[in-house]
A = this chain, B = another copy of it.
């Protein structure tokens, strides 16, 4: 394992309902924090990648690359928006990683940003379906709660996963969220409250769903030379993988196994020489409670069908040591779609630095998993503590 790309700086806004803020101001706040944290002079930045999913549909704003770059005072840089649905900003990290590891760039600023609140609920549901192929399944009325409802029902059918086990994901992540000042939800919930919350798409209930969230997170990624020149490298990226997976339910052999996640994870483990058992902390894409179970299996933390029992037991009862979503996850920290990927890496970097509010003891290896659409765009990043 050797990281050619370093996370030299991280920044984040609060995640939550942030009225009166636009995409620009959120992105700039997070980016300024990341630049300050990195100590890298801004003139070393030649590429600004803004990860964003539905800024156009929800707020009428595109061209975020040049706008954010201009507001940061950066001139004559390559400033673009990168979109891969809910994996937009981690996809941007992957492209930045390719550029830096090949020596094409010394430093790239990656910002993820989204504004999802303040619009009617229907507008948000419609916006999210932009990640469904409107040429085929979008026209059938499919939504993401519907997709994950089918996944949940099928997982329960095939593996005997119980309603209580799925609800336990929310209980765990709400407990973690209560300890994370950046999280949208900071109150724990009891199992009964999850089980009895209003139905959304049977068997999914309200507390099985992540909230609509505003927020931004930013990363300054650099090569090793720059990281050493302006500080002592603390966190390296041991693997960065972005793959496409099935874009339609009808492309799935089995909707309880997400090929994109499986492929991305296998590649990331192969590149880094790390095994799932080695990972201390993981931030994975729990857009719905059942998603954490599916993802934790597809990432190799548990065998297929064992994700439900695993989450319902105390972590000490499991074979793996991984702590999953100590940030509170999407369920509790919130899911500002375009910002989520950078936000997950922000959380794991804080764990690697030993400075997370829900610190995992001796965390040296972390993993992030971020998915867009029907696991149609999936990233896996493996991060390592270097100091």
A232 within 8 A of B: no
Interface secondary structure of A, over-half rule: mixed
Cβ-defined partner of A65 (8 Å) among B64, B84, B126, B248: B84
Say which one of A128-136, A212-220, A348-356 lies at the interface with B.
A128-136
Cβ-defined partner of A243 (8 Å) among B53, B56, B76: B76
Query: A67 near B133 (CB under 8 angstroms)?
Result: yes
Over the window 59-72 of chain A, the binary record of Cβ atoms lying under 8 Å from chain B Cβ atoms (1 yes, 0 no) is: 11111111101100
Cβ-defined partner of A66 (8 Å) among B74, B82, B372: B372
Query: B94 near A63 (CB under 8 angstroms)?
Result: no
The copy count of this chain in the complex is 2
Smallest beta-carbon distance A27→chain B, Å? 11
Query: A134 near B54 (CB under 8 angstroms)?
Result: no
A258-285 residues with Cβ-Cβ distance < 8 A to B are 263, 267
Over the window 66-102 of chain A, the binary record of Cβ atoms lying under 8 Å from chain B Cβ atoms (1 yes, 0 no) is: 1101100011111111111100000110110011011
Q: What are 25 A-B pairs with beta-carbon distances under 8 A?
A: A24-B135, A56-B127, A57-B60, A59-B134, A60-B129, A60-B134, A61-B135, A62-B83, A62-B130, A63-B83, A63-B84, A63-B131, A63-B132, A63-B133, A63-B247, A63-B373, A65-B377, A67-B133, A77-B243, A78-B243, A82-B83, A98-B104, A99-B99, A99-B104, A102-B104
